[in-house]
Structure 1
């Protein structure tokens, strides 16, 4: 119980209140959840916070979690994401889910998929034009 009180105090200091859902979390889960949230999700890590929140938004869309979608949208905005970036992250989640749905429903052979992907990447790398300001925007996404 002492850990829970300490965590609630940390949450309140950081956010100004302890959200109801944190108060309702089982005691056995609070420490692990808060440690991950504090030390990974909210901390400065190798991935900038704006990008972590955009990733979170894409995942929230894929998992259809409206709570997560709201949280990650607002957190991404707080870290400087634009409406266009939010829309792109959401579309990346949708595109990934569409591809995943098709590949899994078709039961595409994973080894074949992997081999062909690596062949495609090798081809793109071998045929990549010199990066210039005018061609960077024109290149297919895999060439960046």
Structure 2
């Protein structure tokens, strides 16, 4: 169970202490809230909108109905449209699909890393050569 101090903080952030908080084992409870508070809800390098889309994609990939519901609501609060959520989920599914292919085919990781670096270099060169909109 989270400490009384942490319960008060959670209630201030979320308007209540969600029932799932009680599922956290005592040694990790306050720390677990700190991760949510500091990384997911706090000011970081990513905007809240971006974090909501990343989290929704991850939730869909791991097929967690709890996380999908929470992060969909979070994305809606950030003004993310249904079309944008669908795209984020589709991008995530592409990553999962190709990860399955790569692992199943046992593609050589060193060769993959080399090819990826070459592709990135080529794309960067193409972007540099493209006429500017300015």
When normalised by structure 1's length, the TM-score is 0.85
The residue number in structure 2 matching 1:31 is 30
For structure 1, the residue ranges without an aligned partner over 5 or more in a row are 134-144
Are 2:62 and 1:63 equivalent residues in the alignment? yes
When normalised by structure 2's length, the TM-score is 0.91
Give 1:23 shift.
Answer: 2.1
Q: Distance in 2 between matches of 1:21 and 1:64?
A: 18
Give 1:54 shift.
Answer: 0.5
Are 2:83 and 1:89 equivalent residues in the alignment? no
Aligned residues: CA RMSD: 1.5
Instruction: Kindly report structure 1 stretches of 4+ aligned residues shifted beyond 4 Å.
Output: none
For structure 2, the residue ranges without an aligned partner over 5 or more in a row are none
Q: Distance in 2 between matches of 1:98 and 1:132?
A: 35
Give 1:40 shift.
Answer: 1.2
Q: Distance in 1 between matches of 2:121 and 2:84?
A: 29
Q: Distance in 2 between matches of 1:28 and 1:66?
A: 26
Query: Per-residue CA shift, 1:45-86, capped at 9, x if unaligned?
Result: 110011011000111111111111111111011112111111
Give 1:113 shift.
Answer: 0.6
The residue number in structure 2 matching 1:112 is 111
Q: Secondary structure at the match of 1:127?
A: helix
Q: Distance in 2 between matches of 1:26 and 1:40?
A: 20
**How many residues are paired up?**
132
